[in-house]
Amino acid sequence: MTAIPADKKAVAIEQILEAIPSAPPTLGLRKICEDAGVKAPTFLLWVDQDKDLAERYARAMAFRVEADVDRINEISMAPAVTVSTEFSEHVDAGDVALRRLQIDSLKWLAAKRLPKKYGDKVGLEHSGGVGMSFSVDLTPP
């Protein structure tokens, strides 16, 4: 394994961190890293070894999640595809199913990548009371 010179490493890191937030949902970290001339495991090793880089990477991923959430709105608000027949015109069911799949996929990714904000709420609630009773026997033995 060849070491990457520090100047090229810095350029690659900046390129990767700039590409992450604007990348389409179909573009994974592996491809983003390849475009920067680095293998994804190498980049993740750098992230693991550098606390500042880890924080910057986490922020970039959070920005990407926000961009994906914006895409959900774009997908849902896009004009419906209609199909015309000789007798009627109706919304294409296949288009509706595709949009539902895209939205569900983006919601799932958001919940996994940013669970505190977009994850399912786990409710741990207790109802009822807690009762304790004890007795002390003070009679001499």
Q: Return the CATH number at 17.
A: 1.10.10.60
Looking at residues 80-86, what average pLDDT do you find? Answer: 86
Query: How many Cα atoms sit within 13 Å of 124 on the Cβ side?
Result: 0
Q: Is residue 39 included in any domain, yes or no?
A: yes
Q: Is residue 132 included in any domain, yes or no?
A: no
Range with lowest mean pLDDT among 59-68, 75-84, 88-97, 124-133:
124-133
Query: What pLDDT sits at residue 111?
Result: 94
Q: Residue 67 corresponds to which tokens in the numbers above?
A: 């961009």
**What is the number of structural domains in the chain?**
1
Q: Is residue 126 included in any domain, yes or no?
A: no
Q: Is residue 88 included in any domain, yes or no?
A: yes
- Asked whether 29 and 40 are in contact (CB, 8 A), the reply is yes
Q: Is residue 52 included in any domain, yes or no?
A: yes
Q: Is residue 131 included in any domain, yes or no?
A: no
pLDDT at 1 over 60: no
What range defines the domain where residue 27 resides?
A: 6-117
